[in-house]
Amino acid sequence: MIMEKTYGGGIYEAAFGSESNLIFISSRFGFDIIDTKKMNIKSFDPVSEPQFSRQQCQNG
């Protein structure tokens, strides 16, 4: 395990960023972007969804 954070409510989405060191979490309390290289979490309120480039699945 790299990092741990406990969420008290439902998580709606968890996505990996196009830069694989970022993870985007959408919950009923807002949004978090977790940087696993810098070991920090940046939080946003529910009305301020941040721009986040997600990885795309490749068919193959």
Rounded Cα–Cα distance for residues 54 and 26 (Å): 13
Enumerate residues 6+ apart whose C-beta is below 8 A from 58: none
Domains of the chain, by residue range, sit at: 11-41
> Residue 56: pLDDT above 80?
no
pTM of the predicted model as reported, rounded to 2 decimal places: 0.71
pLDDT in tens, 16-50: 887 778 888 888 888 998 888 898 999 999 888 77
